[in-house]
Amino acid sequence: MSIARSTAQSLGFGALLTPVHLGTGAEATVRFAAGLAKALSCRLVGIAADEIEMLYDGYGGAMVDAVLVENLRDVVVEDLAKAEALFRGAAQGVAIDWRCAVEQPRRFALTQSRAADLVVLARQGHGDDALGRMGVTPSDIVMELGRPVLVIPPGIETLTGRSVVVAWKDTREARRAVQDALPFLIRAELVSVLSVGADPDDGGAQDVCGYLAQFGIAARAVLRPDCGEDIADAIKRLVREQNADLVVAGAYGHSRLREWIFGGVTRDLIETTPVCCLMSH
């Protein structure tokens, strides 16, 4: 057995996790996650949560009635059962685990992520219907998750990972992303470490390539000076040039508030990257 093959086995994922909802694209996301889990020989954990939505009177107070609360709970439990049926029907050919709760969906996703190595989420396309109360979006959880998030753009059904672009900046988040992406990088045929800046040679991209070489990954550094091009656009341009289907990037290099006010590379990658994006914080 070659060193690279042996290392690939030791660096595999044990479990993927995907939140399930009843909105647009829910079944397609589960099918994608199941296909990825099968390709990576790991387990798939499906989760869903919904909270009881209390009614309010005209004075801002909650209307608490035992029968009403029980009826609302029945609706939530029914929706969770529908989500479980969707998950089990779409996750074929792979070992699965199902977890659900009457709880706030974002909070439940954050706690249950402890059971997996990678969280798989789809982003909505422009004009798509809302995910509904059970939906969780990448921007909801990437900051606090403590796990890498694989963001799937609309229309993507599979991930081969043969060609990967690492969006490199010498930050904690980028270093974490490279580490988290090793199970993908070690299987890739082409890995490019892209550094963009006034003096990209100082960004450490060559060191990253040297680090990856220890795992049998023949990565190449792509150093591009800052010519006024938006960094997210530079990343997407390299994706097109090398026909990549995965971007690896650190998330939220600045404060989350600043990222969302001024746009930020993280936001651009989440919202506009045409291929899958693995993000870590």
Over the stretch 24-69, which tens digit does the pLDDT of each residue have?
A: 899 999 999 999 999 999 999 999 999 887 655 555 555 566 666 6
Average pLDDT score over the chain: 86
pLDDT per residue as tens digits for the range 184-227: 999 999 999 999 876 666 679 999 999 999 999 999 999 988 76
Q: Quick check: 8 pLDDT over 50? A: no
Domain boundaries, the chain: 11-152, 163-280
- Residue 11 CA to chain centroid, in angstroms? 18
Three-state secondary-structure class, residue 11: coil
Q: Quick check: 3 pLDDT over 70? A: no
The token duo for 2 is: 């070659």
Strands across the sheet with 163-168, in order? Answer: 96-102, 43-50, 15-19, 118-122, 149-152, 276-280, 246-250, 163-168, 190-197, 219-225
CATH homologous superfamily for 163-280?
HUPs (3.40.50.620)
Those residues with Cβ within 8 angstroms of residue 194's Cβ, 6 or more apart along the chain or in another chain: 165, 166, 167, 168, 205, 222, 224, 234, 235, 238
Select from 3.40.50.12280, 3.40.50.620, 3.40.50.720, 3.40.190.10 the CATH code of 11-152. 3.40.50.620
The Cα–Cα gap between 70 and 66 comes to 6
pLDDT of the residue at 107: 95
pLDDT of the residue at 216: 95
pLDDT per residue as tens digits for the range 226-273: 766 788 889 999 999 999 999 999 986 555 554 444 347 788 888 888
Better pLDDT: 24 or 149: 149
